[in-house]
Amino acid sequence: MVMIVHHLENSRSQRVLWMLEELGLPYEVRRYERDPRTMLAPPALKQVHPLGKSPVVEHDGRIVAETATILEYLVALSGGGLGPPEDPDGALRWRYFLDYAEGSLMPPLLLSLVIGKMGPLGWPARGFVTRMAMTHIDYVEGELSRRPWFAGAEFSAADVMMSFPLEAGRQRLKLDGRRPSILAWLGRIHARPAYQRALEKGGPYAYA
């Protein structure tokens, strides 16, 4: 059975399309548009998964949700493609950044987005949230100054996983030349042919 990717515009699911293109696995895309007023996912996604969120994939009778879980599923499905490096330190970094992307880096970026939409009501918290987010940005900048890719010398699923928060972070936090390692890494991932193919398959993506 060909995998079906339930793809919401401008969302984390762009990473799944990219991963599939990198691995050369066959798939179909079912696109969903956000509500123009609330920017939330449409109710139709709840017919696929009770939480009504994306990404979700269907494959061999399974419904698989959560980006990191999907990426690990694809690594296994491909026989280990873009999986962890063989050295123990690299393997630990690979696992760490798969979890870090959503568990630690994304929450302050999401808070920054929400506070930005609150207008004057959000002003008291803006400084604190921005400082919290920039602490993570500085940490990531330091990591990428030591190696070209998150897990080590080679591109891996860890880089796919880290793409969305750093793409969103560049826009929301207005990252500039003071974060050269992050900007160079974004340039490298955006230049990858598989990334470009995923954009063609997924449609408009605000963060590329």
pLDDT above 90 for 115: no
| Alpha carbons 114 and 108: distance in angstroms, whole number | 10
pLDDT above 90 for 117: no
Mean pLDDT of 88-106: 98
Per-residue pLDDT tens over the stretch 9-36: 999 999 999 999 999 999 999 999 999 9
Q: Where are the domains of the chain?
A: 3-82+194-202, 88-192
Task: Say what the pLDDT of residue 82 is.
Answer: 98
Task: Say what the pLDDT of residue 8 is.
Answer: 97
pLDDT above 90 for 87: yes
Mean pLDDT of 168-197: 96
pLDDT above 90 for 120: no
Contacts of 69 (CB under 8 A, 6+ apart): none
- Provide the pLDDT confidence category of residue 46 given band limits of 50, 70 and 90: very high
- Class of domain 88-192 as given by CATH: mainly alpha
Task: Say what the pLDDT of residue 191 is.
Answer: 98
Task: Say what the pLDDT of residue 89 is.
Answer: 98
> Could you give the count of Cα atoms lying within 13 Å of 204 in the half-sphere of its Cβ?
4
What is the CATH architecture of 3-82+194-202? 3-Layer(aba) Sandwich (3.40)
Q: Do domains 3-82+194-202 and 88-192 have the same CATH topology?
A: no
Q: What is the mean pLDDT of the chain?
A: 96
Task: Say what the pLDDT of residue 79 is.
Answer: 98
Q: Which sign, positive or negative, has the C-alpha torsion 183, 184, 190, 194?
A: negative
| Tally of residues, the chain | 208
What are the tokens at 162?
């880290």
Q: What does pTM read for this prediction?
A: 0.96
